[in-house]
Amino acid sequence: MAKLILLRHLQSQWNKENKFTGWTDVLLSEEGIEKASIIADKLMAEPIDLVFTSPLVRNKNTAELVLKYLNRPDIADIKIDKAFDERNYGVWQGLDKGAVKQKYGEEEYRRLRRSWTGKPEGGESLQDVYERVVPYYKNAIEPELRAGKNCLVVASHNSLRALAKYLENIADEAIIDFEIPNGGVVIYELDESLQIKNKETR
């Protein structure tokens, strides 16, 4: 009936420097920008009707660059909402990931970073992100999918992880292993009840 396409933003400067970004508004790296055409090639055959993203510049610029390489000036009205912002990493924002891992130990670091309820001091858990992403998806995107429109969501890692958890009904304890790389694409083909008929990763 319709397709929902998830695209994680291209590499940012802090991705390159291995720093926690969170709500910090960091630009795309030169390497990230250079890969926009490659991502567009992955989506060239997909009939995209609507694009959703967040106001964070790395998300918004990824959406704009990909649409440019897809030669889709007709999609000028990108839907922008903070619901798709990255998870707030609290006191970890701006810190080197390797140094944080060394401080907390591998097991606790992974729990705080990737589990359902773990959160750094002053930050959000994935559950917190889920509670802002899913209502927006239900209110703004589901009606478009039901109308047969193919939707592209360009967003940050944890907002996409939260949405994928909802779509795939991933168990709380299993979401720790779900990841999407920078520039990674997940395409869901949905039936009339918006259940997943097919999933493809590119």
Q: What's the burial of 8, exposed, middle or buried (CB within 10 Å: 0-12/13-18/19+)?
A: buried
Write out the binding residues.
8-15, 21-22, 58, 86-89, 97, 113-114
Q: Angle at which helices 106-114 and 97-104 pack, to 10 degrees?
A: 120
- N-term to C-term CA, the chain: 20
- Phi first, then psi, for residue 188 (nearest 5°) are -105, 125
86: annotated active-site residue: yes
Residue bearing tokens 């009205």: 77
b/e burial code for range 26-59 (CB count within 10 A of at least 16 → b) = bebbeebeebbeebbebbeeeebbbbbbbebebb
Write out the binding residues for substrate.
8-15, 21-22, 58, 86-89, 97, 113-114
Which member of 9, 30, 124, 189 is catalytic?
9
34: annotated active-site residue: no
Q: Which residues are catalytic?
A: 9, 86
